[in-house]
Amino acid sequence: MTYIKKITLALSGLALCASAAVAGGLDDIDQTVRDRLYSPDMIDPAQPIEASIYKDFVAKNPPPWKIGYASSYAGNTWRAGAMNQLQDEIIPKWKELGLISEVVVTQSNLKDATQIQQMRQLVDQGVDAIIVCCSNPTALNQTTKYAHDQGVPTFSLTGYLTSEYALNSSVNYQLAGFEIGKWMADELNGEGNVLVVEGIPGASSSDSQDRGVKAGLATAEGIKVVGTVAGMWTDQVAQGEVQKWLSTYPGKLDGVVVQSAAEMGVLRAMAQSGRGDVPVAIGGELGALCFWRNNPDYISAAVQTWPPQDEMELIWDIMMRTLQGQGPKIQSIMVDPVTISFDDLKEIMDEDCDPNTAEWLAVGKDRWGSSAFLDDFFYNPADPTQYKP
């Protein structure tokens, strides 16, 4: 009995500590945002949402700051869109403001050991902050602590790291996946066989979204998931994997849910197999949106889960605010998915659009982490472009 009592007291103490951590961060966020984006029923259970250790962070150097971008992959249209935004828009703007000196970019080609080595090298080369993208949620944790111990915070773009020494930004992927899965279930009137095309299994953003997709599909008893393949967020890969799967599945297929950036590959695979009328979930690839623009009755909506330009702008703003001492409240800053109707699409593009473009739809800052929205996630909010050290 004494042993059980001690265990109970210990667990109670841990619960109190957890409550204190939440009270120091999440409880300071607007209630409406908490209810929508941080609901326990609609968030990845591993998503870190405790109080940020960077509340009182002071950058080790004054600006201009040297930034490292340890990208894990460069082989799809999404990564190209994010990189173009960084190089063509963000770097020139913030250099002109006098707040950065340079951005050092590395690529690890989905190899955790290489990314770890590159991050350590960036720290040793004197960067003031590191951005990582779409990475394994745990593999970088020790390196993130190494960076923190040298005064270098790590910012995880489009996916989370579970380390307390990281700050994360993304859409709520489980919520976004749920909305896509439920949309498909509704699109099929609650009956049908569905193929699910994941992103990169093991990446937090892919696994979170996949969990949500399958939960959304499960809202209709008549929906059956008849297969799952990994599209690796790459059109060419997804096209090949779906073609192989279709060649071994002679049964009826009623819909395909796919994670961007792979919908163009899936659309091509479906057309080549003679199943081009089967609805495919469309995200932000402009080529896929162009297909919808020219086939108005094909689907009823598209859900944007990670527009690359806006995602890069979001993590950059969070990083600059943190370096300026604005004090982030919690470990993960999440935004809402954006649904595009056909009426919206008509405002975005004309019928003479390019169905083969590799570019992406930019949702825009007002709908993807606006300044007013981000202000609520910092204790000392201010316009980061107006910073005067």
3-class SS letters over 209-270: HHHHHHHHHCCCCEEEEEEEEECCCCHHHHHHHHHHHHHHCCCCCCEEEECCCCHHHHHHHH
SS3 of 41, please?
helix
Structural domains in the chain, CATH included, are 173-304 (3.40.50.2300)
Q: What is the pLDDT of residue 12?
A: 38
Residue 22 has pLDDT above 50, yes or no: no
Has residue 25 got a pLDDT over 90? no
Tell me the C-alpha distance between 216 and 176, whole Å.
10
Query: How many Cβ atoms are within 10 Å of 339's Cβ, its own excluded?
Result: 15
Sequence-ordered strand ranges (E) for the chain: 65-71, 100-107, 129-133, 154-157, 166-171, 191-198, 222-230, 255-258, 301-304, 332-335, 338-341
Look up residue 79 and give its two tokens.
């990564």
| Contact indicator for 324, 371 with CB cutoff of 8 Å | no
With a cut of 50, say whether residue 1 has pLDDT above it.
Answer: no
Distance CA 300, CA 314 (A): 28
User: Which pLDDT score is estimated for 20?
Assistant: 34
Considering the chain, what percentage of its residues have pLDDT values greater than 70?
Answer: 94
pTM: 0.90
DSSP 8-class letter at 354: -
At residue 24, the pLDDT reads 57
Residue given tokens 């059956």 in the structure block: 224
Q: What pLDDT was estimated at residue 353?
A: 97
End-to-end CA distance of the chain: 60
Q: Which amino acid, 24?
A: G
Residue pair 355/276 in contact by the 8 Å Cβ criterion: no
Neighbours of 178 (CB within 10 A): 24
Q: Based on the number of CB atoms within 10 Å of its own CB, is 177 exposed (0-12), middle (13-18) or buried (19 or more)? A: buried
What pLDDT, on the 0 to 100 scale, is given for residue 389?
86
Q: What is the pLDDT of residues 85-144, one digit of tens each?
A: 999 999 999 999 999 999 999 999 989 999 999 999 999 999 999 999 988 899 999 999
Q: What distance in Å separates the CA atoms of residue 13 and residue 53, rounded to the nearest whole number?
A: 20
230-277 pLDDT per residue, tens: 999 999 999 999 999 999 999 999 999 999 999 999 999 999 999 999
Whether 77 and 235 have beta carbons less than 8 Å apart is answered as yes
Residue 223 and residue 262: Cα distance in Å, rounded? 22
The pLDDT score that the predictor gives to residue 3 is 32
For residue 369, is pLDDT > 70?
Answer: yes
User: pLDDT per residue over 328-367, tens digit each?
Assistant: 999 999 999 999 999 999 999 999 999 999 899 999 999 9
pLDDT higher than threshold 70 for residue 71: yes
pLDDT computed for residue 15 by the predictor? 36
303: helix, coil or strand? strand
DSSP string, 98-140: TSEEEEEEEE-TT-HHHHHHHHHHHHHTT-SEEEEES--TTTT
Place of tokens 């040793």: 124
> Rounded CA gap, 210 and 191, in Å?
20
Query: Percentage of residues in the chain with pLDDT exceeding 90?
Result: 88
Neighbours of 350 (CB within 10 A): 9
Mean pLDDT along residues 286-302: 97
Of how many residues is the chain composed?
389
More confident residue, 46 or 8: 46
For the chain, the average pLDDT equals: 92
pLDDT higher than 60, residue 198: yes
Whole-angstrom distance, CA of residue 73 vs CA of residue 202: 14
| CB neighbour class for 372 (10 Å; exposed up to 12, middle 13-18, buried from 19) | exposed
Which pLDDT score, from 0 to 100, does residue 112 have? Answer: 94
Residue 212: phi, psi to the nearest 5?
-65, -40
pLDDT at 6 over 60: no
Q: Which two tokens stand for residue 238?
A: 């997804």
Q: What angle separates helix 286-293 from helix 263-272, to the nearest 10 degrees?
A: 50
